């Protein structure tokens, strides 16, 4: 057999190995694909596949099919799942430094929040994830949170007293909502619709994007545009998995996350622009002229606790960022 023929046969034998060398990874969200989070991870997956010419394929999973946010963060930390895209709800249980971002009325609006997260404060905070086993690829957005419930219109903080509300598994949120007189019920997101439907809880709070994606109008009559918390989202990757990538591929993952964030924020803006009209058309009663100053005043004792926990200077640095 000629040397050339031998070489050709050897190459042919290696072809299946080359095909098998394609790397597959998983990324998950806890809400539906047709959402601001779905757009984010779909964009990310397409960008990674395109930029690596199909060498790395990221498979998206939706609607909590791999577990709720806390479970998916744990899986990424352990390395049983490569990636997740999550709100910061359960994040402080893993990276306590991130708790400060969940303080109510910390940000003036989305533009202020995006500026802080994309600037030195947010970028420094991403580094706090590394000792905990994560590579944080970047910040994205869950949106500005509003209150819904099945019992009554909420015009003022007093209207929240005694309402049983699902909250995220987040100590800052729980402390704040107790300050409103809410009976807080921390719960993973995939359980929320059923809990509202069965009356286990009276209400919940989420951005318009989430309220629409989860079809909460089917089980909630009242929506109040309290805008009480800006809710970031974050791209998390198992650090060991990221570290094994070639430097060029690490750059691709960071760029894909940035593209996903851009698509995610655009969808949040779109949902915020049309959300109230859409939810009204589906039967929700909307209070859209909420006096936010009264809600902030109701949290004065809680803010004193937050200042002790986080340091007034650290809170003011975020609050006053221009």
Residues, the chain, total? 322
Contacts of 280 (CB under 8 A, 6+ apart): 286
**Tokens linked to 278:** 């859409």
Mutual angle of helices 247-281 and 36-51, in 10-degree steps: 150
Q: CA nearest 238: which of 316, 137, 313?
A: 137
Query: To the nearest whole number, what is the mean pLDDT of the chain?
Result: 94
d(CA 102, CA 99): 6
- Percent pLDDT > 70 in the chain is 93
- Which tens digit of pLDDT belongs to each residue from 264-290? 999 999 999 999 999 999 999 999 999
Mean pLDDT to the nearest integer, 78-100: 96
Q: Where are the beta strands (DSSP E) in 65-197?
A: 83-87, 134-149, 164-167, 183-186
The closest alpha carbon to 272, from 110, 118, 153, belongs to 110
pTM of the model: 0.90
CA 295, CA 310: separation in Å to the nearest integer? 21
Could you report the per-residue pLDDT of 24-48, keeping only the tens digit for each? 999 999 999 999 999 999 999 999 9
The predicted structure's pLDDT at residue 14? 47
DSSP state of 119: S
Dihedral of CA 82/87/88/94: which sign?
negative
Q: All domains of the chain, ordered by start, with CATH?
A: 21-319 (3.40.190.170)
What digits encode the pLDDT tens for the residues 116-157?
A: 999 999 999 999 999 999 999 999 999 999 999 999 999 999
Most distant pair of Cα atoms in the chain: their distance: 89
């Amino acid at each position: 057999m000629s040397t050339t023929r031998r070489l050709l046969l050897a190459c042919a034998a290696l072809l299946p190995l080359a095909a098998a060398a394609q790397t597959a990874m998983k990324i998950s969200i806890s809400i539906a694909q047709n959402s601001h989070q779905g757009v984010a991870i779909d964009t990310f997956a397409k960008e990674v596949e395109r930029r690596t010419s199909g060498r790395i394929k990221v498979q998206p999973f939706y609607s909590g099919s791999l577990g709720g946010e806390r479970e998916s963060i744990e899986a990424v930390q352990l390395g049983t799942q490569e990636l997740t895209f999550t709100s910061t709800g359960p994040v402080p249980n893993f990276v306590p430094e991130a708790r400060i971002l969940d303080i109510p009325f910390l940000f003036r609006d989305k533009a202020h929040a995006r500026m802080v997260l994309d600037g030195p404060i947010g970028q420094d905070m991403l580094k706090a994830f590394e000792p905990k086993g994560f590579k944080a690829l970047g910040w994205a957005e869950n949106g500005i949170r509003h209150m819904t419930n099945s019992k009554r219109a909420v015009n003022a903080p007093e209207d929240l007293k005694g309402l049983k509300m699902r909250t995220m598994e987040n100590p800052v949120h729980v402390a704040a909502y107790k300050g409103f007189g809410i009976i807080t019920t921390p719960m993973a997101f995939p359980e929320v619709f059923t809990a509202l439907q069965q009356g286990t809880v009276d209400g919940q709070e989420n951005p318009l994007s989430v309220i629409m994606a989860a079809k909460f109008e089917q089980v909630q009559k009242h929506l109040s545009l309290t805008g009480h918390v800006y809710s970031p989202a974050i791209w998390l990757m198992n650090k060991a998995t990221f570290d094994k990538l070639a430097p060029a591929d690490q750059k691709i993952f960071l760029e894909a996350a940035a593209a996903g964030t851009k698509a995610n924020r655009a969808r949040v803006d779109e949902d915020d622009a049309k959300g109230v009209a859409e939810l009204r058309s589906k039967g929700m009663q909307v209070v859209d002229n909420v006096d936010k100053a009264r809600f902030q005043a109701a949290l004065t004792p809680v803010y004193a606790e937050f200042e002790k926990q986080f340091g007034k200077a650290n809170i003011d640095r975020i609050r006053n960022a221009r």
